[in-house]
Amino acid sequence: MAKRRGLALDGVLLLDKPVGLSSNHALQRARRSMDAAKAGHTGTLDPFATGLLVCCMGRATKISGAMLDADKAYRATLQFGEETDSGDLTGHVVARAAEGYSVTEDALREVLARFQGVIEQVPPMYSALKRDGKPLYEYARQGIELERPPRQVTIHRIDLLSLSGTRAEIDVACSKGTYIRTLAQDIGRALGCYAHLAALRRTHVGPFSLDRAVTLEALQAMTDPKQALLALNELPAGLLPAKQTLKDPL
């Protein structure tokens, strides 16, 4: 019996990815809910992270290139006092602050100001960047650390939302290629107390906002999940290469 491919749906699903799922697993669950034949996402979130995952169905996959290059925004929770090998809460602690350390609001605001604008970041070993055809995270899992040249990224805005004891919450608007895990680590080092990312939530990707996103649970509970799709004519101007591409075959 021939395998059924699903429906030829065209549109964009703004998905609020839950914690614990890879971006691809979240995408595939959404695709199955809508019975879509063709789907892809436009920028990976780590399994521990939540928030906006832009899922493109059918001919909407033509916006993928523009979305990968788009600016993004995040809400991040920093845990001070410990640095991990992955830069986030899933890693092993590799450095700890001296006993009795503290982080004041004035000191934190001063350090955050240093990271606004064009900065250089060393990509983390736990990343999908490749060396000799193999992702860096595969080397990291073998205990191998490779030299990585710094890369320029832009932090358009970084706002302190709260500071409570050893945790702070910040909003970050940044260019493509920015690693928030690395930003957390660098902020901790600048403060002299180490830090790692305790939580991460993506709030914006280019013109798309988490405000219009649907959770996987809500999508799966819908009588007609296809209603959650943004149609091609609802997409912000300039995302699709040209109007005639809408007529192109899949």
Q: Are residues 28 and 102 in the same domain?
A: no
Residue 249 lies in a domain: no
> Helices in the chain by DSSP H: which ranges?
23-34, 64-68, 105-114, 136-141, 180-191, 216-221
At 42 the pLDDT is 83
At 2 the pLDDT is 44
Q: How many domains does the chain have?
A: 2
The position carrying tokens 């296809």 is 226
**Measured between alpha carbons, how far is 227 from 201 in angstroms, rounded to an integer?**
25
Taking only the tens of pLDDT, the chain with its 250 residues reads 445 578 888 999 999 999 999 999 999 999 999 998 888 888 889 999 999 999 999 888 888 878 888 999 999 999 999 999 999 999 999 999 999 999 999 999 999 999 999 999 987 766 666 676 776 667 767 776 767 788 999 999 999 999 999 999 999 999 999 999 999 999 999 999 999 999 999 999 999 999 999 999 999 999 999 999 999 988 887 787 654 344 443 3
Q: Are residues 127 and 106 in the same domain?
A: yes
Write the CATH number for 169: 3.30.2350.10
**Is 122 in contact with 156 (CB distance < 8 Å)?**
no
CA separation, residue 150 to residues 118, 125, 154 (Å):
12, 12, 13
Residue 247 lies in a domain: no
**Measured between alpha carbons, how far is 81 from 99 in angstroms, rounded to an integer?**
9
Residue 31 lies in a domain: yes
Active-site position among 10, 16, 35, 46:
46
C-beta neighbour count of 245 within 10 angstroms: 11
pTM, rounded to two decimals: 0.89
Q: Are residues 54 and 133 in the same domain?
A: no
| 217, two tokens | 């649970």
Q: Are residues 162 and 96 in the same domain?
A: yes
At 225 the pLDDT is 93
At 4 the pLDDT is 52
At 135 the pLDDT is 67
Q: Are residues 86 and 188 in the same domain?
A: yes
| 80, two tokens | 């001070």
Residue 46 bears catalytic tag: yes
Structural domain that includes position 58: 11-69+207-234
